[in-house]
Amino acid sequence: MKQQSKVWITLVALWTINGSSFLAIKISIDTIPPLLSAGIRFFIAGSILFTAYFFLQKYEHKHEQIGRRQWKDAVILAFTLFLGGQGLLTWGAQYLSSGITGLLNSTIPLWVAVIAFLIFRKHMTKLIIMGLAAGFGGLMLLVAPSIGNGTLSPIGISALLISSVSWAIGSLYSSKAKLPISVLASSGMLMITGGLMLTSVSFLLGEYQGLDLSQISSQSLAALIYLIIIITVVGFTDFYWLLRVTTPSLANTFAYVSPVIAVILGWAILKESITTITIVAMVVILLGVALMVTTSKKSKIVKSDKKL
C-alpha cells in the first residue's frame, strides 16, 4: 500500500474513532471520577501496547535499547499529552456538554500553528491560515445553537482551553523527541507514564473518597472499556503514527472532523435531526481540513524503515 493511501486510511479511522470519544467520556465519568477514569484508561491501554511490543520483539528476536533519554522524553510527552491534555479534557467534560467539549477541543490545530510560529518561527502559509479559519468557523457554526441554549461553565472552558494548549505543545515536542522506533513501544511508554500521573493526581485530589464501587453503572463501565480498547489502544496508536510520518497540523485535523462524525453518529444511532446549518458547517469544516492536507502532504518524507 502506498504511504499516502495509508495516511488517508489512518486519518479517516482516527476521525471516526475520535468522533465517538466525547460521548464515551461523558458516560464513563457519570459514575467514575474523571481523573481516575482517565488514569485507569491509559495505564491499561499502555500496558496492552507495551506487552504486545515485548512479545513481538521476542518473537522476531529483536531488541531495541530503551534508555534514560527515551524515558525522559516519554515523561515530558505524558505530562503534556495525557496529564495536561486528556486529563484536563476528561475533568472539564463534567462541567460541559459533549458538543461544547468537542468545540473547545477543536482549537488544538490553531494552537499548534500559533505555537509553532511563536516558538519555532514556522511560517504559516495562506492555505494553513485559511484552513484553520474555515475549520474553526465551521465548528462555531455547527455548535452555536447549543451555546445559546444554556450557560457555559468558566471552569470547564478554562480546563478545555488549557488542555488544548497542552496537547498542542506535546504534539510539537513529539517531532523532536527521542523515543523508540516502534510505535507500540512509544505509545505504551507514554500511556503507562501518563496513566500513573493521572492516577497519582486523582488520589492527591481525593477523588477516591467519593467513589462507591457498587454505584458504578454498567454504562460507565462499558464506556470505559470502549475508551480503553477502541479510543486509546487503536486511536492513539494511529495518532502517534501520524505525528511521526506527517505533521502536527495534519495529525490534529481530527479536532475538526470529530464533531462532524459525532453529529452523523447521533443521526444514525439516536435518530437526531440534521439541519441545513449542520450540513453547511460540515462542508466548511471538511474544506478547512482539505486545505490543511494539501499544504501538509509534501512537508515530510516518510522513512520506509519505521515499523511496528
pLDDT in tens, 216-258: 999 999 999 999 999 988 887 888 788 778 877 778 777 777 8
Answer yes or no: pTM beyond 0.85. no
- SS3 state at 140: helix
Averaged over 258-283, what is the pLDDT?
73
In this structure, how many other beta carbons lie within 10 angstroms of the beta carbon of residue 206? 10
Residue whose cell numbers read 494548549: 165
pLDDT of residue 302: 39
Confidence of residue 270 (pLDDT cuts 50, 70, 90): low
Averaged over 113-117, what is the pLDDT?
83
Number of H helices, E strands in the chain: 15, 0
Please measure the distance between the N-terminal and C-terminal CA atoms of the chain and give it in whole angstroms.
Answer: 16
Confidence of residue 305 (pLDDT cuts 50, 70, 90): very low
| Residue of 36 and 67 predicted with greater confidence | 36
Alpha-carbon distance of 271 to 196, in angstroms, equals 39
Please tell me the least confidently modeled range out of 16-25, 94-103, 230-239, 247-256: 247-256
Per residue in 21-41, is it b (16+ CB within 10 Å) or e — as a string?
bbbbbbbbbebbbbbbbbbbb
Per residue in 121-158, is it b (16+ CB within 10 Å) or e — as a string?
ebeeeeebeebbebbbebbebbbeeeeeeeeeeeebbe
pLDDT of residue 296: 52
**286 is written with which cell numbers?**
471538511
| Residue of 249 and 134 predicted with greater confidence | 134
* For residue 180, pLDDT beyond 60: yes
Helix spans in 153-182 (H): 154-174
Give the phi and the psi of residue 20 in degrees, each rounded to 5.
-95, 0
8 Å CB contact between 260 and 107: no
> Could you tell me what percentage of the chain is helix, strand and coil, using 3-state DSSP and rounding each to the nearest 5?
80, 0, 20
**121 is written with which cell numbers?**
518561527
pLDDT of residue 306: 37
* For residue 298, pLDDT beyond 50: no
| Residue of 32 and 112 predicted with greater confidence | 32
Select from 25, 18, 19 the least CA-distant residue to 156. 25
**What is the chain's mean pLDDT, rounded?**
82
Averaged over 32-49, what is the pLDDT?
94
Select from 191, 301, 289, 283 the least CA-distant residue to 249. 289
**251 is written with which cell numbers?**
495529525
Confidence of residue 150 (pLDDT cuts 50, 70, 90): low
Give the phi and the psi of residue 107 in degrees, each rounded to 5.
-80, -5
Computed on alpha carbons and rounded to an integer, the radius of gyration of the chain in Å comes to 19
**31 is written with which cell numbers?**
459514575
Alpha-carbon distance of 28 to 219, in angstroms, equals 7
Select from 109, 83, 154 the least CA-distant residue to 250. 109
| Residue of 297 and 98 predicted with greater confidence | 98
**105 is written with which cell numbers?**
477541543
DSSP 208: G
